[in-house]
Amino acid sequence: MEYGQVIANGLMLGGLYACIAVGFSLVWGVLNVINMLHGSFIILGGYLTFFAWLHLKVNPLVALAPVAAVLFSIGFLVQYLLVNRVITQPVLTTLTLTFGLDMILYNAMNLAFEATPRRIVLDLGRLHLGGVILPYDRVVAMALALVLTAILYLVLRTSRTGRAIVAVRMDRDAAALMGIRVNRVYAITFGIGALMAGACGALVAVVFPITTSVTGLFLGKAFVICVIGGLGSVPGALVGGLALGMIESLASFWFGPQQAILVGFLIMLVLLMVRPTGLVGKKGYE
Amino acid sequence: MTEQSRFGRFLSATAVALTGTALMLSGVQAQTIKIGAPLALTGGLADEGRKQAIAYDMWLKRINAAGGIDVGGRKMRVELVQYDYQTNEQRAQQLAEKLIVDDKVNFLLAPFGSGHTKVVAGVAERYGVPVMATSASSDSIFNQGYKHLFGTLAPNSGSVENLITVVTRQMPNAKRIAILGREDVFPKAMATVMSDSAKKAGLQIISLEYYPVGVLDLATPIAKIKSMNPDWIYITGYSKDLVLARKQMQDLGVKAPVVTMITGPVYKEFIDALGPLAEGVTSASWWHHSAQFRGNDPWGSTKAFYDEFVAREKADPDYVHAAAAAALVALQKAIENAKTLDRAKVRDALAALDIVTFYGPIKFAANGMNGGRDLPIIQVQGGKPVLLYPEALKQGNLQSVK
Amino acid sequence: MTRLGGRAGHLVFGAWILLLAATPFIASNYFVKIATFLAMYAALALSWNFIGGYTGYPSFSTAAFFGLGAYSGALMQNAGLWVGFAWIGAALVVSAFAAILGFAILRLRGHYFAIASIALADVLMLIASIWAGVTGGGEGLNVKIMPGGPDFIGRVFLYTMLGIMLAAFVTTVLVDRSALGFGLRCIQQNEDAADMVGVNVTRYKATAFTLSAVFCGAIGAAYASWVAYISPVDSFSILLTLKVPVMVLLGGPGTVLGPVVGSAAFVILEETIWAKYLDYHQAVLGVVIVLLLFFLPGGLLRMLSRRSGR
């Protein structure tokens, strides 16, 4: 089989992976919080998109913006009201808190939506490019993922809020001294993380079946991608996502599907030991 | 002193009252048959667990409407004691013991998961409590020598052989088969059984791969399969894996004359989720609602079961629903035959059972599995599952997947 | 940090152990089983306490050690080794694993260490799935069934788990009072300073990590013998690995009794909640965790010792 298809698979997967991880990476890098809710946020976004499509006949790509907005508000509130209370405490506390919150969200979704896998039936056709087949919905999802990531990058670089976020990431105390309302920045960042998760969920709903049982999977991918790419930076998530997509695709081709996931984890472990800041990351939060 | 004696009298009065109540309650308890049911109401198998719950409820309502089960001339009502085991193995084990020791159930129903069934059976075996498995069709579930475990599903090999029969007869040119299985008890068993049987039938296995339990993407394994040009693509897994696989086959333009997914097409949610993509996919099943069995059970015929289910759920029942209800029917019949609730005698009655029900024949082999006969093969045609086998009930012929 | 009065605390613990050990004689098998799980979780919590409580490293390796112990014990038993030796052997295997891997991942800190420790479980689970020839892969592995009626088996495993818990407890007491314990606390306060002051940071961390593995391995092996069947997904369950730190946090990390109190409270809480709220139990548990973190920092022990007026 030509490597072309394998690489194309890897890139398309990688684009989605980048989107999955970028919100997670941002929250981790800026707030130093591992958000265990991230996987559930993605699926929630997916469900909202699915039901908008099912009941309101809204095209998922159109639903993306409102869904993302809804997730932003949820994320903002969760951080402002809950996570913020333990923000200065060690890793274990914040992680356990988001884990507890995740249990609540997971239970709620299970009750509201049931565990049946849902899929948006939307056949957009395929693109044939020199022997390689690229399904349109995946291409669109990947493109949008990249666009969103780019937008986020620009926002962080250019807008006032964005620069405040970067400032807090670099040095929280100095930022506070400069008059930045750190708590609000935290809440906005968490909100953005949730927004990206929701947007990703909308894209994922087009490509994968949505069910509550995969929240842990997405979270796990986010972990690996952040380590590979580097924390807290948007280019890091991009590089990490694309890298993981390629790694999994190639390993699956050479060894097998299970081995592919194993290789991903092993590479992550090796990177942790050798270069914990990841391929692109800067030395920063431990 | 007055205080003490008053207190003492209060104590003894309470003791008497409590004892009396306890006696009364135990007397009341003795009037019902309690069956314990650990259900996966949350967790990874929640969807499947719900199906069992529906089937149990249907049987329960019917049997109690008729006054209960006939135990040696006396009708006793049935009570189902249900708990959510959260698709968690430790919970399943704990619950089994709770149901037996604390809730004092007479008999047990097994949870949906294969591994969890084994763990529950282990507990039940020690207490000598008969356990009815409703969704276990893999030999490996019954390979620990437990004497109290009985399952209404026939072994995997039977369905696979029928599948091969249908395909080799109606599409003799389909010789190259690619197998992709999920690394999990039942799907893996279905993959290995197919691999063995296909070899025996003279088919060429061009690919045999397993994907992990938590899989997000199957693009590369499917692309690999495509490059080998199979005549027959055979994929096993749970609904969400199969929906993903079918969609990615479409994404990558993978085509083959025969596409089998175990057990996707049998379930409504698979067809709903895939829409037109489900067309042409074949599967093996353990029961089809168009069967025409008649039996001496609360429904009396397959059609009666089907009608009640459709009226209640507004959808067709699949084999999981039927096998779950059938497990309770088997237990009921065994109790009736044994004329007692004595566990050892009921266990022996189960082992000796040989009946026909709305679900089909029920006769357990030495290892506790139901015998397999004429297990149906279906294909999705026109958006609905159509029976291809057995010959007597055939509704259509195998069509090439477009 | 105040520890809940040495003598009084130990007396309470002794009474607790006696109560658990007495369950076969005073209560039904269901309570014996609950007592067994209480002992099991207490042992897991005490194990985690070494690396998470004293040293302050957020380890999520419990599932990795437990699962590895389960598979090692099962394979040894199936190969003919007597059950007791299989359990000990499994504990040794897991300790060796932790000691070797410890070197590699203990150089990481904070979140990175946390992730690496979670990854261990995922990697082991995948290996167990892939190496089907040895482990049975996704189909799982049957373990030799121990003969005996339910009462006998109930007692065997109750006392086994209690025994392991006692061993973990004694080890905790010894560590708590030793130079190791002191050194670990220093590392938690400020690792670099501890290093400069002369604490052998690398060795101490590795010891704590290995200690956190030993008993988990034994528990895993015992558990495998108990249920007579293990599979990759359930043996390396992420839920187990997340619950155990919560238990220690609930009770009081870095203390001798904290893990015991916390695990007992958690298990009892879970039993009562789950029995009452069929549909919502997960959410209720989540709420409990959240409330715990907001209102009980330092765990129950800290709250109790504050109430008793130091």
C95-124 confidence digits (pLDDT tens)? 999 999 988 888 888 888 888 998 899 999
* B263 preceded by a cis bond (ω within 30 of 0): yes
Residue with tokens 């759920």: B313
Of A19, A21, A31, the closest CA to residue A190 belongs to A31
CA A58 to chain centre: 23
Q: How many helices (H) and strands (E) does chain C have?
A: 15, 2
Find which of B213, B215, B236, B343 to mutate to test the C interface (most C CBs within 10 Å of its CB).
B213
Query: A255 in a domain, yes or no?
Result: no
CA-nearest residue to B89 within chain C is C234
Residue C78 token pair: 């199936």
Closest approach of B81 to chain C, Cα-based (Å): 12
| Element (DSSP H or E) covering residue A133 | strand A132-135
Q: What is the mean pLDDT of residues C71-77?
A: 96
| B140 pLDDT more than 70 | yes
Q: Is C58 in Cβ contact with A262 (below 8 Å)?
A: no
Average the pLDDT over each of A72-86, A266-280, B103-117 and give the range with the smallest value. Answer: A266-280
Confirm if C125 and C211 have CB atoms less than 8 A apart.
Answer: no
Cα atoms found within 13 Å of the Cα of residue B242, Cβ hemisphere only: 31
Which of C104, C111, C246 has the CB atom closest to A96's CB atom?
C246
| A2 pLDDT more than 80 | no
Confirm if B134 and B110 have CB atoms less than 8 A apart.
Answer: yes
Residue C147 token pair: 């003969």
Q: Is B243 in Cβ contact with A257 (below 8 Å)?
A: no
What is the pTM (predicted TM-score) of this model? 0.88
| B354 pLDDT more than 90 | yes
Cα of first residue to Cα of last residue in chain A, in angstroms, is 42
Query: A83 in a domain, yes or no?
Result: yes
Round to whole Å and give the CA distance between A274 and A133: 37
Highest mean pLDDT, choosing among A1-10, C198-207, C289-298: C198-207
Supply the CATH classification number for the domain C2-309. Answer: 1.10.3470
CA-nearest residue to A99 within chain C is C286
- C144-150: long-range pairs with CB below 8 Å, 24+: C144/C77, C144/C78, C144/C83, C144/C225, C144/C228, C145/B122, C145/B144, C145/B145, C145/C228, C146/C83, C146/C225, C146/C228, C148/B126, C149/B126, C150/B123, C150/B126, C150/B127, C150/C29
Find which of C231, C238, C239, C266 to mutate to test the B interface (most B CBs within 10 Å of its CB).
C231
| B191 pLDDT more than 70 | yes
* A117 preceded by a cis bond (ω within 30 of 0): no
Query: A239 in a domain, yes or no?
Result: no
| B189 pLDDT more than 80 | yes
For chain C, give the mean pLDDT: 89
Query: Using one digit for the tens of pLDDT, what is the confidence trace for C156-197?
Result: 999 999 999 999 999 999 999 999 999 999 999 888 899 898
Q: What is the mean pLDDT of residues C52-67?
A: 93
Question: What ipTM does the predicted assembly reach?
Answer: 0.84
Closest approach of B46 to chain A, Cα-based (Å): 6
Confidence at residue B1, expressed as pLDDT on a 0 to 100 scale: 43
Query: C-alpha distances in angstroms, C62 versus A37, A209, B13, B179, C65?
Result: 21, 32, 52, 36, 5
Query: A62 in a domain, yes or no?
Result: yes
Structural domains of chain B in order of their starting residue, each with its CATH number: 28-151+291-363 (3.40.50.2300), 157-286+376-393 (3.40.50.2300)
Of B282, B232, B276, B284, the closest CA to residue B255 belongs to B232
**What is the total count of domains within chain A?**
1
CA B77 to chain centre: 24
Average the pLDDT over each of B148-157, B271-280, C84-93 and give the range with the smallest value. Answer: B271-280
Confidence at residue C308, expressed as pLDDT on a 0 to 100 scale: 56
Confidence at residue A162, expressed as pLDDT on a 0 to 100 scale: 86
Band of pLDDT at residue C310, cut at 50, 70 and 90:
very low
Which of C145, C149, C229 has the CB atom closest to B115's CB atom?
C229
- Give the domain range for residue A132: 14-213
Which of C28, C231, C232 has the CB atom closest to B101's CB atom?
C28
CA-nearest residue to A84 within chain C is C294
Closest approach of C109 to chain A, Cα-based (Å): 6
Question: Angle B73-B79-B81 (CA atoms, 0-180°, nearest 5)?
Answer: 145
Query: C-alpha distances in angstroms, A193 versus A25, A79, A225, B196?
Result: 8, 11, 15, 49
- The answer to whether C239 faces chain A, any CB pair under 8 Å, is no
Q: What is the mean pLDDT of residues A62-89?
A: 90
Round to whole Å and give the CA distance between B68 and B66: 6
Please name the amino acid found at residue B43: G
CA-nearest residue to B98 within chain C is C30
Round to whole Å and give the CA distance between B155 and B286: 9
Confidence at residue B5, expressed as pLDDT on a 0 to 100 scale: 53
Please name the amino acid found at residue A132: V
Band of pLDDT at residue A105, cut at 50, 70 and 90:
very high
Which of A91, A96, A102 has the CB atom closest to C249's CB atom?
A96
Q: Which chains touch B (3 or more CB pairs under 8 A)?
A: A, C
- The answer to whether A4 faces chain B, any CB pair under 8 Å, is no
Of all residues in chain B, what percent carry a pLDDT higher than 90? Answer: 63
Residue C127 token pair: 């290996």
Residues of chain A contacting C116 with CB distance shorter than 8 Å: 269, 272-273
Round to whole Å and give the CA distance between C106 and C95: 15
Band of pLDDT at residue B11, cut at 50, 70 and 90:
low
Query: A203 in a domain, yes or no?
Result: yes
Q: Which chains touch A (3 or more CB pairs under 8 A)?
A: B, C
- The answer to whether B209 faces chain C, any CB pair under 8 Å, is no
Q: Is B251 in Cβ contact with A135 (below 8 Å)?
A: yes
Confidence at residue C178, expressed as pLDDT on a 0 to 100 scale: 93
Q: What is the mean pLDDT of residues B74-83?
A: 93
CA A47 to chain centre: 16
- Give the residue numbers in A contacting C (CB under 8 Å), as ranges: 28, 32, 34, 82, 85-86, 89-93, 95-97, 99-104, 106-108, 110-111, 216, 220, 223-224, 227, 256, 258-259, 261-262, 265-266, 268-269, 272-273, 276, 285-286
| C79 pLDDT more than 60 | yes
CA-nearest residue to C229 within chain B is B119
Confirm if B148 and B235 have CB atoms less than 8 A apart.
Answer: no
Query: A37 in a domain, yes or no?
Result: yes
Confidence at residue B27, expressed as pLDDT on a 0 to 100 scale: 45
Residues 154-213 of C with CB under 8 A from A: none
Confidence at residue B6, expressed as pLDDT on a 0 to 100 scale: 58
| C5 pLDDT more than 60 | no
Confidence at residue B55, expressed as pLDDT on a 0 to 100 scale: 95
- The answer to whether A211 faces chain B, any CB pair under 8 Å, is yes
Confidence at residue B9, expressed as pLDDT on a 0 to 100 scale: 56
Confidence at residue A284, expressed as pLDDT on a 0 to 100 scale: 44
Closest approach of A119 to chain B, Cα-based (Å): 5
| B28 pLDDT more than 50 | no
CA-nearest residue to B253 within chain A is A133
Query: A113 in a domain, yes or no?
Result: yes
Residue with tokens 């072994």: B155
CB neighbours of A272 closer than 8 A, spacing ≥ 6? A227, C105, C108, C112, C115, C116, C119
Q: What is the mean pLDDT of residues C35-63?
A: 94
- The answer to whether C286 faces chain A, any CB pair under 8 Å, is yes
Please name the amino acid found at residue B94: Q
- The answer to whether C83 faces chain A, any CB pair under 8 Å, is no
Confirm if B93 and C227 have CB atoms less than 8 A apart.
Answer: yes
Confidence at residue B29, expressed as pLDDT on a 0 to 100 scale: 45
Band of pLDDT at residue A286, cut at 50, 70 and 90:
very low
Give the sign of the dihedral formed by CA B153, CA B155, CA B160, CA B163.
negative
Query: Using one digit for the tens of pLDDT, what is the confidence trace for B33-73?
Result: 999 999 988 777 777 888 999 999 999 999 999 999 999 99
Band of pLDDT at residue A230, cut at 50, 70 and 90:
confident
Computed over its alpha carbons, how large is the radius of gyration of chain A?
18
Confidence at residue C269, expressed as pLDDT on a 0 to 100 scale: 84
Query: Using one digit for the tens of pLDDT, what is the confidence trace for A160-174?
Result: 888 888 888 888 888
